[in-house]
Amino acid sequence: MTVQLDHHADMLGDAKRLAAFRKAIGEVVRPGDAVVDVGTGLGPLAASALDAGAGHVTAIEYIPQLAALATEILADTAVRVVVGRSYDIDLTPSPDVAVTETIGPVGPEENIVEITYDLKRRYPTLRGIVPRRMRLYAQAVLSERVEAARDAVFTKLIASASGHFDPGNAPHALARSYCEQIYQDDLSDAQAQTERLDLADYTLGISEAPDFDTVVELPATADWNAVTIVFEAQLSDSVTLTNHFSAPQTHWLNSYVARFADTHRLRIAYDAAGTSFEIRWLEEGL
């Protein structure tokens, strides 16, 4: 597997993300602790555990090429880089603290719930997990950026008409298809039109599976055009990290679903086995 170094550069350039994790690690790790960092990437959080006084740090990375880069970067430190999946690796000594930034664009797609549950099950004396909780919620918004992105897609579709091919023959089907996908974009311009509507709440290390299936009831009014799907990760007592549109932007950007016509009931489901979301706008009578 090729290492997408530009992606890792974006993550390392996400100052808000790094500062939050470093602060939380400093709060949770005690001098001499054994720490495991799952999904270490190039190793910044494993290094932060050492900086916080950890006595033993294991950094786990399942992509061999990425683990090799981390090994070189951390060569002058006491961090031990291990290639593989955390589920398959026996840790000695048993970890006191687990750190993992396996948070997907929406939240659970990188298996953070399953990873932390497995660690706590196998190492019941695990004292701390960073992050320790992750909440997902939906919120209806009004955003010009949503309209601009939608218009750009449909302008290209309609302009492609030629001869017997005319996407304009299927406006309803194309609109539904577009509105039943999750997009990531900078929605700093968004204005909240509802309260935050809970989708899932995971206590990491305790919650066993991230699956959920929820119908979100939204206003029937016309003053919103998208539903944002937001994660809020509690890293420690004083540190919370979120991709909410009102917070400083991170590399995760803002996840959203565009509104379909005048519908106002949205089914959002997550299937852990396929690490996939299902989005479905429910029209009246469904």
Evaluate whether 5-101 and 135-281 have a shared fold.
no
Is 238 buried (19+), middle (13-18) or exposed (0-12) by CB count in 10 A? exposed
Asked whether the beta carbons of 130 and 97 are under 8 A apart, the reply is yes
Q: Which amino acid is at 131?
A: P
DSSP state of 165: B
Q: What is the pLDDT along the chain (286 residues), one digit of tens a residue?
A: 778 899 999 999 999 999 999 999 999 999 999 999 999 999 999 999 999 999 999 999 999 999 999 999 999 999 999 999 999 999 999 999 999 999 999 999 999 999 999 999 999 999 999 999 999 999 999 999 999 999 999 999 999 999 999 999 999 999 999 999 999 999 999 999 999 999 999 999 999 999 999 999 999 998 999 999 999 999 999 999 999 999 999 999 999 999 999 999 999 999 999 999 999 999 875 5
Q: Which amino acid is at 261?
A: A
Q: Give the chain's largest Cα–Cα span.
A: 72
Structure token digits, residue 134: 């992750």
Q: Which of 119, 167, 128, 164 is nearest to 28 (CA)?
A: 128
Q: The tokens 């449909």 sit on which residue? A: 154
Q: Which CATH fold would you assign to the domain 5-101?
A: Rossmann fold (3.40.50)
Q: Which CATH fold would you assign to the domain 135-281?
A: Hnrnp arginine n-methyltransferase1 (2.70.160)
Give the residue ranges of DSSP H helices in the chain. 5-12, 15-28, 44-51, 64-73, 112-122, 144-159, 171-179
Distance CA 241, CA 248 (A): 10
Asked whether the beta carbons of 43 and 74 are under 8 A apart, the reply is yes
User: Which run of H or E residues covers position 281?
Assistant: strand 276-281
pLDDT, residue 136, reads 99
Distance CA 7, CA 12 (A): 9
Asked whether the beta carbons of 268 and 228 are under 8 A apart, the reply is no
- For residue 40, CA distances in Å to 18, 48, 76, 98, 186 come to 13, 11, 17, 11, 26
Distance CA 256, CA 230 (A): 8
What is the CA 93 to chain-centroid distance, rounded? 30
Burial readout 112-135 (b: 16 or more C-beta within 10 A, e: otherwise) = bbbbbbbbbeebeebebbbbbbbb
Domain boundaries, the chain: 5-101, 135-281
